[in-house]
Amino acid sequence: AQTVTQSQPEMSVQEAETVTLSCTYDTSESDYYLFWYKQPPSRQMILVIRQEAYKQQNATENRFSVNFQKAAKSFSLKISDSQLGDAAMYFCAYRLPYSGNTPLVFGKGTRLSVIA
Amino acid sequence: DTAVSQTPKYLVTQMGNDKSIKCEQNLGHDTMYWYKQDSKKFLKIMFSYNNKELIINETVPNRFSPKSPDKAHLNLHINSLELGDSAVYFCASSQGALFTDTQYFGPGTRLTVL
């Protein structure tokens, strides 16, 4: 079975500091998409960043960047200059490129607290 | 403008009742989804429709029936509600059914079954 593992149920970071959330996944496919979603207390699921597996370059979106290690099946999220508004649940997910449609497979999430 | 909207946001009901959750997207997307997030925050796909046609139907009890009257709407009807149905239900949409198409989520509906 395809799985996504987030080994850190909870993390905390000081405001303005940097934090890294880890994610590993298990698949035998060579191409797929990886995502990080943020779920603040409002419950909305917000796409933070995505990465296609065949691309070597790590994706970056402003203060958010990923460290994608394909051989290790690792996809960690780095948040720089953490802000209070970054406090949320963060979900790692992937999607496989089969014909038809494939669902997002989510990890169990990491709750990030930001300390002022 | 709300891209993916769900109604209601909160739903409290008794066991055995039948209820519906509505979802609408104004993004012009062809594909819509329903996800369930349990009390441990685990998110799992339930259904997916592409151009009003069911293309993903995970192992979900028959009491759950999705209905897509048009591409912009995907409603979820639940019969004979049970305590274990209590969860947050998320609707999502994407441009198409390709794995490269990013999914955009609605705000969620918190269902509580008493």
- In angstroms, the CA A114 to CA A33 distance is 28
**C-beta of residue A67 within 8 angstroms of C-beta of residue A80:** no
- Kindly tell me if the per-residue pLDDT of B20 is higher than 70: yes
Where does residue B23 rank: exposed (0-12), middle (13-18), buried (19+ CB within 10 A)? buried
Q: Is B92 touching A (CB cutoff 8 A)? A: yes
Residue in A42, A103, A106 closest to B56 by CB: A103
Coil/strand/helix, residue B92: strand
A63-70 mean pLDDT: 95
> Which helix (H) or strand (E) element contains residue A26?
strand A24-26
pLDDT-derived band at B53, boundaries 50, 70, 90 = confident
Give me the pLDDT at residue A27, please: 84
Paired with A21 in beta bridges are A77
A25/A2 Cα distance (integer angstroms): 8
pLDDT of residue A105: 86
Spell out which residues of chain B touch residue A32, defining contact as CB-CB under 8 Å.
99
The rounded mean pLDDT for chain B is 90
Task: Report how far residue A45's alpha carbon sits from residue B108's, in angstroms, rounded to the nearest whole number.
Answer: 8
The rounded percent of chain B whose pLDDT value lies above 70 is 96
| pLDDT beyond 70 at B62 | yes
Query: What confidence score (pLDDT) does residue A100 get?
Result: 53
| The pLDDT of residue B50 | 84
What are the tens digits of pLDDT across the range A14-32?
999 999 999 999 988 888 8
**pLDDT recorded at residue A101:** 61
Residues 16-75 of B with CB under 8 A from A: 31, 33, 35, 40-45, 48, 50, 55-56, 58
Identity of residue B18 = D
pLDDT for res A25? 93
Place of tokens 């259904």: B47
Instruction: Report the alpha-carbon distance of residue A58 to residue A43 in Å, rounded.
Output: 28
